[in-house]
Structure 1
């Protein structure tokens, strides 16, 4: 449970750009859209109240900007008087969990009492037209490049254990092969089927068809998912997140700050009940992951349980991840995630709707922005502003966002719980 001296934290603004492939848009363009969008959503007249900024990005080094990324991207906004001068910006990187780390920093700003209003923003470009080598380099940065033989040996051992040789291919990222091996082990151990994974993918694509910000906006059946091009068996293309660009942001504030805002802004505020980060390790195949640890800590901090959750946004870099993370978050027993999806319990009208946004497989996955886009979806749902994909009367929402790879789990993980306040 939280210390009584910690301050309450509220999200008063949340925004995500439409995710997609935008070769003509720069990092600064995406930063501008996300910042001005979140400012408008918050109802603040301008950004003068913002005291601190957390800027998440993974791949700007790929555009020759390795340092001071946030400061560079905000320079035009400061010059134009749109962002206050002298506000510190901390640059954050945690692979696919980057934006969630930025959010966590802003949460701690408010919770500690040091800051009354803080900005978290994630900006990413992973698509470079006609340059697959450059695209691959961006994703390769999310694994140990100092001692690559360590993870290579580990994956060969895993491959031998499941009777499936580790054989990465040049037409996909290494992550797809690691997820495929985990899926194969899960199928052998628990009887999970490819059709169950396809059910999760189809559900997410159907949700994404109703999300105007999603990269892929078309419905799919489980049969169509199964019939799509194989990527790394048992995964097909429709079960894997696409490459793309985008940005997302949130503005957080204290209870005292919120009390001085107009009634309309107060009514749209969403409370942060927990924000937890955990670190990865080389774990055994049958050992619960870092997301399971993060979820238990988050539930404990919030004084809640999996049964209290109204919806979840989980990191489905592949649809197997959704199956697995539904188990790690406690929505079903270990091994039952596939059945949970196939039985319709994760649909919009199911017991625990998962990835109402369309998830990464449909909404898209610009890595440095993904975590905050998940937060934006949960905020939208809790406010009752999600349109055709709105969950009925939600009270609590939970996010799980992993980043990087360390063996058969992520190197970093975020779990966030939000609460409707009105």
Structure 2
């Protein structure tokens, strides 16, 4: 098993002090990318797969209430998850040096397109297949369907694709999230967006049947109108009684129309992890960092080279590197990471790390959206935006077991800033429901 770990700087918080775990840097299949103070990449500099989970920040938040338990016995108690291909994988394969998407597909008797469908983090040129990372090679029995409801007017507006169009451009043009575009157009390869056909029409606005809450809103409006009409026909005294009854009914209807977010865990441990910066490791003679095949990637100070080996990832010049699938001798053991697909690095699952969104947890299902009230309103370092409390479980950690979430904050200085302001180390965790995952950078 190869060593491949980000310098996650996981903390144990005691009396507002922290202790960095030195051996945290040796866990397998963990990668994160160092950017330091470099400006965040723009939408044009990252792939659609990185942007896919994010919602449109201009969309209104759903009205919701937090509940200790689910009052509706018929409701599903399953965690609310981000609908993404490969969520329920029946079998995984750890990529080895020399593997290609075609070789893996052939080995497990699946079509190449099926492999891409089950592994949306892999681009369709298969240039970002990482040695040691796990990839789905067999779907589970409960894999989610991405087909949208075709009943009624499923699409209210379409767009005819031209040569320069991409999924990201179309989503931005029509004010929707990239994920919504994929949901409305399930025939488009989610993440890679490499099968848009010129001249074909694609849905860019959901119809009435595609609106998640249109049915509830319409029903509530009709009920309100009916009550107003009935009230006008009654006498003054009866009208007053009916208005009172109407208010109670309206209040009850309003409460029932709210999304209920069930509590998953109480007082779960809350810690942070981040990426080491090259400036944290100054000194030593200049040494060459090389690929497993001996190709020089760049030169760095010896202390930083040692840190790269220990931490498993980092930046060398303008390149992002990760430990490759070979033993490390003379710093000849690295591979480059695709910065477009994974601008902030890879999680233990091989998906992209997303600052202020990614959560590492060992007892919550991958791609589970969660809501943490304790962080709502936090002003996030490096941006003037405030957090809405919505997070995505998309990573794991070896250093703790359960009832614990680890918040990816990008850099140590971001941790220090947040910890100084808030001093939070225990949080309640709720289902995320329809809460919006936002791109804060």
TM range (shorter): under 0.3
Higher strand share: 2
Specify which structure has the higher proportion of helix: 1
Q: TM-score, normalised by structure 1?
A: 0.26
Q: TM-score with structure 2 length normalisation?
A: 0.25
Which is higher, the Rg of structure 1 or of structure 2?
Answer: 2
